[in-house]
């Protein structure tokens, strides 16, 4: 069990924290995850927290509570929270358990979650060569 706790998936990307959860999350792992995510937000001064639930099979009342606390705490620390990849079953479970997710934005996919935070791929028409940026000032010498 300590191996699982030591390998929690907390990834810092630019000024965001990504938490891609997978499988079944035990109560002990959920508590450690909450602590480590909030520590990562504080240490990195993250502006956003994305919790990716794509790989989560099911959530119980404890994990629902931890996810709610994580999002609310991140918000209090100045990081916008987005949950993505939520299955219909998980959405129904969160709703049925009455977990307060009022301050949590949701997205269907991880890509949409990053886009909500202003991160996305560059469009081809916005990329320019060095010569175009310099207005033709570079000569072929």
What pLDDT is attached to residue 101? 79
Distance (Å, whole) CA 62 – CA 112 = 27
Q: Please state which CATH number belongs to domain 2-133.
A: 3.30.750.24
1 pLDDT more than 50: no
Q: What is the pLDDT of residues 42-64, one digit of tens each?
A: 999 999 999 999 999 889 989 99
The set of residues, in sequence order, having a beta carbon less than 8 Å from that of 54 and lying 6+ positions away, is 20, 22, 84, 85, 110
Within 13 Å and on the Cβ side, how many CA atoms surround 89?
8
Residues 108 and 85: beta-carbon distance below 8 Å: yes
Specify the DSSP class assigned to residue 136. T
- What is the pTM assigned to this prediction? 0.80
Q: What is the pLDDT of residues 89-124, one digit of tens each?
A: 998 988 888 887 777 899 999 999 999 999 987 666
Q: What does the block give as tokens for 19?
A: 């938490």
Please report, for the chain, the start and end positions of each structural domain, with discontinuous segments joined by +: 2-133
């Amino acid at each position: 069990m300590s191996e699982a706790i030591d390998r929690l998936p907390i990834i810092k990307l630019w000024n965001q924290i990504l938490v891609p959860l997978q499988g079944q999350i035990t109560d002990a792992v959920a508590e450690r995850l909450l602590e480590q995510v909030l520590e990562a937000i504080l240490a990195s001064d993250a502006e956003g927290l994305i919790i990716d639930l794509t790989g989560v099979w099911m959530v119980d009342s404890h994990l629902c509570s931890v996810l709610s606390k994580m999002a609310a705490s991140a918000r209090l620390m100045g990081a916008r929270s987005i949950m993505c990849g939520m299955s219909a079953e998980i959405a129904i479970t969160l709703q049925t358990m009455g977990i307060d997710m009022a301050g949590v934005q949701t997205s269907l996919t991880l890509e949409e979650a990053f886009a909500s935070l202003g991160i996305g791929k560059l469009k081809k028409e916005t990329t320019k060569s060095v010569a175009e940026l310099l207005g033709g000032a570079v000569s072929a010498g």
